[in-house]
Amino acid sequence: MSTSQAISRDVLIDSYAQPGETTIDDVRLRIADALATVEPAAGRDAWRSRFLEVQRAGFIPAGRIAAHAGTGVASTMVNCFVQPIGDSIADAQGDCPSIYEALRQTAETLRLGGGVGLDFSPIRPHGASVGIGITRAAGPLDFIRLFETSSGVLEKMTSRRSAQMAVLRCDHPDIEAFVDAKRPGGLSRFNLSVAVTDEFMRAVQTSGDVELVHLAEPGAEQKAAGATRRADGKWVYRRLPASALWAHIVRAAYENGEPGLLFLDRVNADNNLGYCETIHATNPCGEQPLPAYGACCLGSFDLTQLVRAPFESEPRFAFDELARLVPVAVRMLDNVIDCTGWPWPQQRDQAFSKRRIGLGFTGLGDALIMMGLHYGSDAARQTASAIARCLRDHAYAASIALAAERGSFPAFDAAGLLRDGSFASRLPASLQSEIRRCGLRNSHLLSIAPAGSVSLAFADNASSGIEPAYAWNYLRHRRRRTSPDVVAYVVEDHAWREFQRLHGPAAELTPAFVTALDLSCEDHLAMVAAVAPCIDGAISKTVNAPKGCSYGEFDALYRNAWTAGLKGITAFRPGGVLGSVLHVPASPI
């Protein structure tokens, strides 16, 4: 592997290393030490060695694990959380805290290092009747701004950007204002997703209408204006053509990069735990659909380390090595649940009851290049699917073995888990039989996260997650933790560096060297569709539409994501509206 580049070393030191740590191996050893404390004393040293070895072989625990494991600091090793929120300023509603209690819980989760997703749909629409002391509701958007202000204060205190996702249902009366919330001058610290139902998508296809509804009773003026109450107790505030709302959503995404879409019915139908929970939101980057107070820890395999004979005539992927490493990685992430700190007891209870983990991969784009495969080709998709299938089968086998050793997750129910339509019902028959016989340690095992910073720090800037490379070399501006000055770094793609190391800087790049912007929208979507059937969580993927992408092509992209059975879609079209910390020079650096 090439000598680490300057930005990789600085990100490692600034974001993950503790005082006295200067190398990747220093961080790996601390992680191995911390996670081995869960093991029985007699086998602890052996597991510590295995945890270190699997990291050296390509397993990268997620950023919160790398930064917080074994530090003794009050923090969490869990990246992904979903925070519930009710429709009341002061009073809890069942299991949902009041708005200000949710704000307090979110702030503490962010302060301790977690990323938070929130579904603001329970909050009644702007202008609705509220009750004694308040004549009209503020609406979800005002409260999202409140949460954004709070996170801005935290960022000044912690020097770490908060990660948050705001979700609103497609049938909420304030959906149009929500869709426009990321236009210039709007929200900047939230990712936005519209939770879309199959009913809405069918109405879009058939030129039907959508009813904008809410449980809260509207005020007298709204009643007079024609609001009606449905049999399910919800009030219909407005009715409009589904195609008009769809166009509003897609136009905002086309111009601003957001909102993304969360296909809610697909998420819940696929959910292994659909028998005991309902999901309304995801973590900030979308790779983990989670219930109220749900949480998940993450880790990724650097696929570039598993390519044998890269750039040669007969490169291959080491499926046997991945199969050997997966059980150790599953055990490490299962141990995280037992030794991490939890911002709130409700999160701990959810985690201990279901023991979700998210094992995935990073460096897919670069690994394909190293094997001579064009990202947009059938061969690349077949290889990616085979890698995901190997990961799935060996992760589930490892979790079955852990259940035999440590017990199943407390909410385990074999019939519910393997019900028709669930992810687990599509596992190979042999694994389903073993789940019925031995149980399962973790309700969910698989997730493909962005893995951007850890790929930069621990994998020499391998292409992040499932993404193709952004560019072979570019400028990136970042502020170091130890200095207020913004530093400009020359950043180079790992596969590009390896190719130059092996063949010299004058060698012509192979046809496999394609960047995100060289690919069509269909190429991006097809890769997600190839891998998604093997992922029980979700996939964080931004479709980088070509600069010349038309509105019609963008609209088709969003429609095709639903037709393909994906759990969500986010796309970005380069333009002048949004800035970037990255700059690709006109000629190679």
Element (H, E) at 117: strand 115-119
**Cis omega (within 30 of 0) on the bond before 173?**
no
Rounded to an integer, what distance in angstroms lies between the CA atom of residue 55 and that of residue 336? 15
Nearest 5°: the CA angle 466, 424, 393 is: 55
Rounded to an integer, what distance in angstroms lies between the CA atom of residue 390 and that of residue 237? 49
Rounded to an integer, what distance in angstroms lies between the CA atom of residue 433 and that of residue 295? 28
79 catalytic per annotation: no
Token pair recorded at residue 179: 């869709």
285 catalytic per annotation: yes
Q: Computed over its alpha carbons, how large is the radius of gyration of the chain? A: 24
Residue (of 334, 183, 342) closest to 251 by Cα position: 183
Rounded to an integer, what distance in angstroms lies between the CA atom of residue 382 and that of residue 97? 46
Residue (of 68, 35, 29, 49) closest to 336 by Cα position: 35
Partners of 491 in beta bridges? 474
Nearest 5°: the CA angle 306, 429, 433 is: 110
- Spatial contact of 582 and 474, defined as CB atoms under 8 Å apart: yes
Catalytic one of 283, 335, 442, 544:
283
Percent composition of the chain: helix, strand, coil (DSSP 3-state, to 5): 45, 15, 40
Catalytic one of 80, 96, 170, 285:
285
Residue (of 440, 434, 435) closest to 408 by Cα position: 440
Rounded to an integer, what distance in angstroms lies between the CA atom of residue 524 and that of residue 544? 8
Amino acid at site 24: I
Rounded to an integer, what distance in angstroms lies between the CA atom of residue 67 and that of residue 362? 18
Catalytic one of 287, 467, 492, 498:
287
Rounded to an integer, what distance in angstroms lies between the CA atom of residue 2 and that of residue 568? 36
405 catalytic per annotation: no
Rounded to an integer, what distance in angstroms lies between the CA atom of residue 266 and that of residue 197? 8
Complete DSSP assignment for 294-350:
-EEEEEEEEGGGGEESTTSSS-EE-HHHHHHHHHHHHHHHHHHHHHS--SSHHHHHH
CB atoms within 10 A of CB 112: 22
Token pair recorded at residue 327: 């059980």
Enumerate the active-site residues.
283, 285, 287
